[in-house]
């Protein structure tokens, strides 16, 4: 029994984080719609397109690829009236020079605070797979409990570079960094 348990622990370390497929698909469906509710979205476009960066590690490349394929099948090249492109960005490669309208951070990234700082400085929307990463400075997440719950990092909302329409603010649960 101990050997089997050890095997599963080692396998999970080797193959990355275990993602909930339903949650991934829900986030991949809803996060692009949330981007469209940013009043300052036009200022974040890159060459007239939404650039949606999926932030990943090598262990999560397959998950990132599956998310992109799902998004492409669901949205067929446009988020609302805007053409989009999904880019894969390694956790260690995100910088202020990275072209992005929004980022979606997968769970195996370790330097969440640094990624959140870059997103804040660039004035782009940051989404997290795990709601707990909002306490590290990312802006938005959602979880499926009894219903779908939207979470917004209260402190990061007021960066002045991201400005959501009022109905978004009425449907979210705010997360306070200090309440860790």
Residues in the chain: 180
Q: Could you give the CA distance from residue 69 to residue 170 in angstroms, rounded to a whole number?
A: 31
pLDDT score at 8? 46
pLDDT score at 164? 77
Average pLDDT, 10 consecutive residues per value, the chain (180 residues): 48 62 96 94 96 96 97 96 97 94 94 94 94 93 86 72 76 68
pLDDT score at 180? 44
Residue whose entry in the numeric block shows the structure tokens 């260690």: 92
Tokens of 173: 């649960």
């Amino acid at each position: 029994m101990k050997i089997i348990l050890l095997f599963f622990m080692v396998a999970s370390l080797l193959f990355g984080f275990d993602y909930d497929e339903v949650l991934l698909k829900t986030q991949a469906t809803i996060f692009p719609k949330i981007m469209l509710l940013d009043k300052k979205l036009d200022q974040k476009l890159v060459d007239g397109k939404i650039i949606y960066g999926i932030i990943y590690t090598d262990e999560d490349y397959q998950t990132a690829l599956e998310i992109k394929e799902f998004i492409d099948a669901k949205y067929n090249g446009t988020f609302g009236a805007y053409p989009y492109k999904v880019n894969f960005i390694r956790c260690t490669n995100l910088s202020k020079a990275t072209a992005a309208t929004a980022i979606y951070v997968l769970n195996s990234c370790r330097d969440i605070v640094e990624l959140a700082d870059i997103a804040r400085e660039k004035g782009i929307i940051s989404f997290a797979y795990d709601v707990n990463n909002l306490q590290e400075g990312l802006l938005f997440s959602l979880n499926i409990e009894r219903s779908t719950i939207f979470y917004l990092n209260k402190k990061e909302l007021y960066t002045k570079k991201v400005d959501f329409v009022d109905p978004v603010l009425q449907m979210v649960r705010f997360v306070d960094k200090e309440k860790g």
